[in-house]
Structure 1
Amino acid sequence: MKRLEHVDPVFDQLFAKIPPEITDTFTEEQLKAIKKVFGSRNWGRHPLDLRVSVPIPGLRFYLVLLAGSERGLKQRLQYEKSVYPLWTPGNIVFLTGFLIILLTSSFTTFSFLFSLLTSVPTSPYPTSIPWLHNKFECEHTGRTWRDGDCWDSEHNPMF
């Protein structure tokens, strides 16, 4: 088998999969052309590159999220759309679940923030005190007896 000087790991993996009886037939010109193609490729790292193995018992599952600026040719992009369509059953299930989780968490977060902003006013207002049953007990605690009830004029709703 002809040996190539190290180009990159992807090239090494692909070249190793070619049977030796074929690699032995490559000329030096062909090998140089192959190296040149692999050396000029634009397969760099993405600004966002998340690769996670999801530990689900009994399943080997992974998730990859890549993002960056689009530098591809229109012809290649159209080809990839036909090879990797967006609306497949698996993608629809994933996107639906993701959307449900996103909406639920957003609703919960906004409800919590709204409740903080519109909390119950803390200014006191008059309230009857049900456990004080006579005028003496009521006035002894600094409250007012009126119409057979004991009234506290400084009751705090946060009590």
Structure 2
Amino acid sequence: MDEDKTNGIKNDPFIRELLRKLPSEERDSFTDRQLLALKAALGARRRWGRHLIDIRGTIGLWRWRYYYVILGGRERRKLSRRQEQMLRSVKLAFLVGFLTFSSLLGLLIIYLVKSALGIDLIPGFSLGIWDWFKKNVL
């Protein structure tokens, strides 16, 4: 079965290109099995080259040139256990923050509507928000 996989491995375009980049005395030192392992390890990098956002360029400043790369897309790597826990914590913190902000904003809107309608739940007590809102916003 291994012979079927390795049959003609040196004719594979990826392996040909890899061997072309090596010094001539090293090219023949690899066994077919080693070449298959190299293809499996390095060939997987091809999918890394495809990103939803792929912006590359160079900037020349005086004598030097600098390059920049901006990549973005769906995460395909397997996260470690610690990274998964951190991601869950960040998601939870974001959710709690969003719910807190939304609740406070909702309470503020309800308070302003109540005050605009002249409803006084506790006679003689005011937070001063309605007075500030009338003075600065309306």
- Please say whether Structure 1 and Structure 2 have the same fold, judged by a TM-score greater than 0.5: no
Scaled to the shorter chain, the TM-score interval is 0.3 to 0.5
State the TM-score, normalized to the length of structure 1: 0.36
State the TM-score, normalized to the length of structure 2: 0.40
Greater strand share, 1 or 2? 1
